[in-house]
A and B are shown apart, each in its own frame.
Chain A
Amino acid sequence: MLTILFDGIAYGMLLFILGCGLAVTLGLMNFINLAHGAFAMAGGYIAVWLVNRLGVAFLAALPLTFLFSAALGVIVERSLYVHVYRKSHLQQVLFTIGLVFMSVAAVDFLMGSEQQFIQLPEAFKGQFNLMGVGIGRYRLLIIAICGALTLILQFVLTATRFGSRLRAAVDDARVAQGLGINVGWVFAVTFAVGSGLAGLGGALGTELLGLDPAFPLKYLIYFLIVVAVGGTSSITGPFLAALLLGIADVAGKYYIPSVGAFVIYTIMVVVLIARPHGLFGRVTAR
């Protein structure tokens, strides 16, 4: 049973890294970026290309993936998204979904439709036994990396000036602008970091979730669930929500395989009925 808990935590942390960028941009910019998964997919494919074709070491490829996806985020945001910030949510949804379809088709054309497998170094393959619990090496790595990132993010958010500017802008962008905070610049940096994290999550997730051109569409629902259940006013919300969902999903599939895949949706429905702003959400001024 502890193995299931361990697996669930690994899965949950991966979901968190993938989804936290979406939570922050939704909370900060009130911008529904359904194309978030496309950045994750881009990160995954870059990692596959770096590790499989260019022979870069897996651990070295991860920061490169982050930088690449962040750069991609900056380019896309400055060129495309700025035009859609002021539009209604429906138009933002249509716009970003259109981007998703374009990215799916582009990747299908460039890289083919097959499942991509990343060649992991031997050190990360297999399991070892620790006090009766089967610990997968790769999952341990995921927990380590995602845990470290979460701590860094939380530190930046709570203990740095940029973090307080970000929190101010999330709570009330107009007042923050009035106080002299350059909200546009905060947007851009946050979006870049969010996309970078998505890319990193995509690279880490290739081994667990699989990678093919349909990735953004397949996993969009999971990112949205993490954001909906966790709320958008902090990152501890999505973090705990992702853990809850990861563990529930894995445990559900293990104990009741026939309905295991529905557990995650049931939880989402129950949480949203009880607390519409998410488990840890606060109503923020717009």
Chain B
Amino acid sequence: MLRGQLLTGFGMIAMVAIALSTGPAPAEDSADHAVKIGLILPMTGQQASTGKQINAAVQLFVKQHGAQVAGKTVEVILKDDASLPDNTKRLAQELIVNDRVAVIAGFGITPSALSAAPLATQAKIPEVVMAAGTSVITERSPYIVRTSFTLPQSSVIMADWAAKNGIKKVVTIVSDYAPGIDSENSFRGRFVADGGTIVDAIRVPFQNPDFSPFLQRARDDAPDAVFVFVPSGQGGTFVKQFIERGLSNAGIKFICTGDVTDDDQLNGMGDAVIGTISAGPYTAAHPSQENQSFVTAFKQANGGLRPNFMAVGGYDGMHLIYAALEATKGVSNGDALLAAMKGMAWESPRGPISIDPRTRDIVQNIAIRKVEKRDGELYNVEFETFKDVKDPAKAAMAEKN
């Protein structure tokens, strides 16, 4: 009896000792030579394609530019949050407290970015949003910087183009979560101001989407065009069902944000999508030297996978972090990095971009593209570009003040 208790006691002490010895590294090691970046992405679950693209782009950047910046070694720690905001919060906390990261980055969907915002504020470290697209994200913490895009940027440009090109009546179909509502509101605001009418505003559930009844309703509303936003990864299913419902045969045009004609899925959608008009910040067919070398390198490193707008968000996010580290000469203090990030401007594979110092949001060119077939593959081909588009919601507020 006593021997059993003694053995149990020793066993527990041994286990605790082993656990402590493999615990988190003391602060002195990491601060001196390594700068850690906590990359939180949805590598599994509904948005897994986003995580895969961004991770590939981040790894490509590190491979191309090396892991040494301003005398420090950069280490990227990847964590999978499966698009669940509770996971994101927990992982961000672990990265900040245990791994002592200097920057948290990634965030595949808006709820993930929002859940980590209070942690970034409290820890005073930059949160680089590489994917999420709702306008209000950058206002949730003074430490949030975005390198992806905002839905209003694309939606407002699409509304302008639609109004100028003879489209008078539109039914909007968006996914029922923050970016979708952002998109619906900004499109409606601009389109109505340009003289058009919104016949019906349909919201589809974000999870498990079956678009058929909603598409049937849109068809019965008989508009000139359907304006669509669904998140990256659901575009393929949507387009299939749009065609199956016969909306294009009924003379209804299909206009959307770039998330629907996602480069990741575009080839799999079949020839029926040729001619679809979209507005977006990036296309793999963007005709610049930067982009062509980016696309080639990406394809080579990832078995022929084409980069999409999420990948370029990740690539530019890494550029931002590296450039900030160089500007602070290796100091990884959160406030210093943040100050360096504001106002930074560079040539990205998507075109010239900059970080607005006042809003910490991305300013970029938005292009109107049409789906065409080139060399046997489908691409979004740009035919009109709008330069230096700021997020319209925040720009409007600035004009008032």
Contacts and interface: CB of A to CB of B under 8 A. Distances in A.
B48 A114 contact: yes
Contact of B46 (A125, A212, A254): A212
B290 to A, nearest CB: 27
A33 B384 CA distance: 55
A261 B246 contact: no
A96 B72 CA distance: 49
Contacts of B265: 114-115
User: By CB atoms of chain B within 10 A, which of A134, A138, A210, A257 has the most?
Assistant: A257
Nearest to A252: B213
Given A113-B48, A212-B46, A261-B205, A254 B213 contact: yes
Interface string B254-281: 0000000000010010000000000000
Contact of B245 (A114, A127, A209): A127
A12 to B, nearest CB: 13
A79 interface: no
* Candidate in A113, A134, A138, A214 with the most chain B CB atoms within 10 angstroms: A113
B49 A114 contact: yes
Given A218-B208, A250-B212, A258 B246 contact: no
Contacts of B43: 113
Contacts of B49: 113-114
Contacts of B207: 218
B246 A254 contact: no
Contacts of A214: 45-46
B357 interface: no
Interface in A175-211: 207-210
B302 interface: no
A257 B217 contact: yes
B216 A3 contact: yes
B292 interface: no
A253 interface: yes
A251 B240 CA distance: 21
A276 interface: no
Interface in A1-39: 3-4, 7, 11
Interface string A200-236: 0000000111101110001100000000000000000
B94 interface: no
B246 A250 contact: no
A261 B176 CA distance: 12
A55 interface: no
B237 interface: yes
Contacts of A208: 210, 212
B246 A127 contact: yes
Contact of B216 (A7, A108, A112, A125): A7
A63 interface: no
A126 B268 CA distance: 17
B293 interface: no
A127 B203 CA distance: 24
Contacts of A147: none
Nearest to B82: A214
Interface string A243-264: 0000000110110011011000
B45 A113 contact: yes
B92 to A, nearest CB: 22
Contacts of B240: 117, 207
A257 B212 contact: no
Nearest to B43: A113
B261 to A, nearest CB: 15
Contacts of B234: 115
B32 interface: no
A253 B243 CA distance: 19
A4 B233 contact: no
Interface string B207-239: 111101110110000000000000001101100
A210 B202 CA distance: 21
B243 A257 contact: no
Interface string B52-90: 100000000000000000000000000000000000000
Given A117-B237, A117-B240, 9 more contacts: A7-B212, A112-B48, A209-B210, A250-B212, A253-B213, A253-B214, A254-B214, A258-B203, A260-B213
Interface of A: 3-4, 7, 11, 108, 112-115, 117, 125-127, 134, 136, 138, 207-210, 212-214, 218-219, 250-251, 253-254, 257-258, 260-261
5 contacts: A113-B43, A127-B245, A134-B245, A207-B240, A257-B202
Q: Top 7 A-B pairs ranked by shortest CB distance?
A: A113-B48, A253-B213, A254-B213, A127-B246, A250-B213, A261-B205, A257-B202
